[in-house]
Chain A
């Protein structure tokens, strides 16, 4: 039997023991070694599993990792509270481990998508490393669950390469958010603020705001996870993805899918430059700033055309700005053409290769405006005449060297003839026609001729250049020169006579009336009568190489007359050397002829006059006799 005093001592000792146990138990290190090691005795076996709701669950815990983890100082039972090692399973009550017992300050906001997830989904408690390390590796951690291809492609993205992880957009830690469509611009805008600002002013943003579910945001064009700066992503996959969809952009007008589809076969879309299309959508339309096509801020409106095309074609734009078209355009003439009035828009073609903009079709493009009276102020016939020209007919016959509008007028640098720097200025026409590959031979002949010297050296605008004889738009081949006149010779005579029989030109230039004397000569009469053999002006004077008789290169120089006349009058060639050709009957250089004609005129008047008088009198007298009955 115990005494009361002994009873008190026993109770006190027991309390002291229990208190010391509690104190000791609170010292983790002291207890852990023993308990944890006991656990690892089984749980370091990699094959250790259990059935949990029909699933085989691994019960392996790597002791090495555990000992390195932030939880290394804790005993298993610190978390696995109430586990009974002697029982299988240890946790018959299926009591959940609550991390918040310790981590009571960790909170997931309501809007976090991971709100209802176990901590262990991200944080493995047996190998949990310090947060610093976790943050550095959290992208891979996310991939543990978010392992579809789209998300995994993030590793190829520009963001990933620049060490921006998932948390860069989705927020990290416990605040992970799903990004809704309407959030996207602001999420991207956190870093790409300027682009967001541009985008907010764009047509895409406007329709997005208006609730159009097809309206694109950042990821529609750039992709979500797999963002990189390849242009192919932007162009073909992004813009055309929507803009080729006939359901989204119906019809055939500007802006329709069909209209945009032309891009794919255009020179911009079909020709590669550094592996990309020569020009992509954004090269002309801009990217984030894209506006409605009618918006004056849009880069493809008429007013901005020169800047937009000039980004890649600066030379052409400079020429254009100096051209007649360009000056009118810059003066605000709404009829003046801009780039795409001639070249087309999405269907823009290479100049030489395509059917639409080949030489033969160029006339039609120019005539779109130049057969319109409003544009050309009535001067249309001569341009339509081009289609009757030898040039056009030759093109039609497949001679691709034949000239079309731009060959003479220039393309971007076309100017009015009155402009001294124009290709078709009176003084430049010969070089335009004689340009390399065209009429170089004829230019050589024309150079140094009386006509050329008079025009170029003396500045005499009466002197003809190529087009004064051949016509400009309705330029004729030499054989067809006289079609309307019946013969080639008559055509030439009519042509030369337009100046050499013009009183004004003869007087102003102190010329001889060679046309008049020629027309009355046998040569002239024969040609007028339709002879196809008699000499015309060119037979003696040459065509392009007409020179004064005093010029030793002239066909009518004394040295060359024999040869020239001898073409038709063989053997008689020497006699021409001292002969005057363009003489008239009254020419004082030929007195015999003068007197013969004078005598004959007197003779004819006297004889025929006398005869007429004689017969009138005879008739009257005989009639009088008959009347008087003298039969």
Chain B
């Protein structure tokens, strides 16, 4: 079994984007749920450590994290439009017919109806779902969050009625996003036996060959084909 080899997964730029996203997301989750569950034990700890103005600090930190996340999202839009790698990223993350095949095969595999693993490319349906969920979530949370932030500006426009809807959506979407990250993303990067104890790509930027074989066999094959073509061409050149 070959575990050697470095396969670039995330560039430094992408790692910074991911880091901004993860740090602002975690901050938003903590400061958000702290509002909703003010009597929870962990909220009490936070209040204890921060002190008397914990509630006000919570609000400010939540807004700072939101700005960071939205700023990161806007940069990401710029990134996927104006960089080659960015454009390829969206192309690779887009849904294709092959994803349905992958899904079917994967489901067959995990329920034991199929011996071979699904033959995933650079992004499996799992990661695609993840990415577009973040896109959706950022839009929804950013939009409703903005309304709630500037409530005195929006109140005359959307009324108390709309305000209550924005509040409810922000709340339900927060639950959905948090649970999705917890159940979906954290499984695949921590518990998943292929990468356990952790997929280090988010700070090293690289995947191991072992991880490539299990998670992205089609991409690996493509890379090796390209490599051998390049080697062949090199040989030809040499010849």
Q: Show the binding face of A for B, using Cβ within 8 Å.
A: 522, 525-526, 528-532, 569-572, 574-576, 579-581, 583, 585, 590, 592-593, 596-597, 600-601, 603-604, 607-608, 611-612, 614-615, 617-624, 626, 631
Contact = CB atoms under 8 A, between A and B. Distances in A.
Contacts of B188: 615
B159 A579 contact: yes
Given A529-B38, A618-B110, A572 B193 contact: no
Chain B interface helix/strand/loop/mixed = helix
Contact of B194 (A593, A601, A612, A622): A622
A615 to B, nearest CB: 4
Contact of B183 (A590, A611, A624): A611
Q: What are the 7 A-B residue pairs with the smallest beta carbon separation, nearest first?
A: A579-B160, A600-B172, A572-B155, A530-B55, A529-B38, A528-B38, A617-B110
Contacts, number: 116
A533 to B, nearest CB: 8
Interface in B140-190: 148, 151-152, 155-156, 159-161, 164-165, 167-169, 172-173, 175-176, 179-180, 183-184, 187-188
B179 A608 contact: yes
Contacts of A532: 55-56
Interface residues of B, number: 47
Interface in B16-49: 34-36, 38-39, 43, 47
Contacts of B160: 575-576, 579-581
Nearest to A526: B55
A579 B169 CA distance: 19
Given A528-B38, A593-B165, A619 B191 contact: yes
B73 interface: no
Given A530-B47, A618-B110, A618-B192, A571 B152 contact: yes
Contacts of B39: 528
Contacts of B176: 600, 603-604, 607-608
B120 to A, nearest CB: 13
A608 B161 CA distance: 29
B111 interface: yes
A604 B175 contact: yes
A309 B96 CA distance: 106
Contacts of A615: 183-184, 187-188, 191
Among B38, B52, B112, residue most surrounded by chain A Cβ atoms (within 10 Å): B38
A600 B140 CA distance: 13
A355 to B, nearest CB: 41
B130 to A, nearest CB: 10
Among A600, A618, A631, residue most surrounded by chain B Cβ atoms (within 10 Å): A618
Given A596-B165, A600-B172, A608-B183, A619 B192 contact: yes
Contacts of A590: 161, 164
Contacts of B173: 600
B165 A530 contact: no
A90 B125 CA distance: 172
6 contacts: A530-B47, A570-B152, A590-B164, A600-B168, A619-B187, A621-B110
Contacts of A600: 168-169, 172-173, 176
Contact of A621 (B35, B112, B175, B187): B112
Interface of B: 1, 34-36, 38-39, 43, 47, 52, 54-56, 58, 107, 109-112, 148, 151-152, 155-156, 159-161, 164-165, 167-169, 172-173, 175-176, 179-180, 183-184, 187-188, 191-194, 210, 214
A611 B187 CA distance: 10
A277 to B, nearest CB: 61
B124 to A, nearest CB: 11
A617 B38 contact: no
B111 A617 contact: yes
Nearest to A534: B55
Contacts of A617: 110-111
A631 B1 contact: yes
A626 B156 contact: no
A601 B172 CA distance: 8
A109 B38 CA distance: 112
B155 A569 contact: yes
Contact of A531 (B56, B110, B159, B169): B56
B35 A575 contact: no
A549 to B, nearest CB: 15
B12 to A, nearest CB: 30
Given A530-B47, A618-B110, 5 more contacts: A529-B35, A597-B168, A600-B168, A618-B187, A631-B210
B6 to A, nearest CB: 19
Contact of A569 (B107, B112, B152): B152
A319 to B, nearest CB: 51
B194 to A, nearest CB: 7
A571 B156 contact: yes
Nearest to B159: A575
B112 A529 contact: no
Nearest to A570: B152
A596 B172 contact: yes
A575 to B, nearest CB: 5
Contacts of A574: 156
B169 A596 contact: yes
Contacts of A624: 112
Nearest to B157: A575
A525 B168 contact: no
Contacts of B34: 529
Contacts of A601: 172
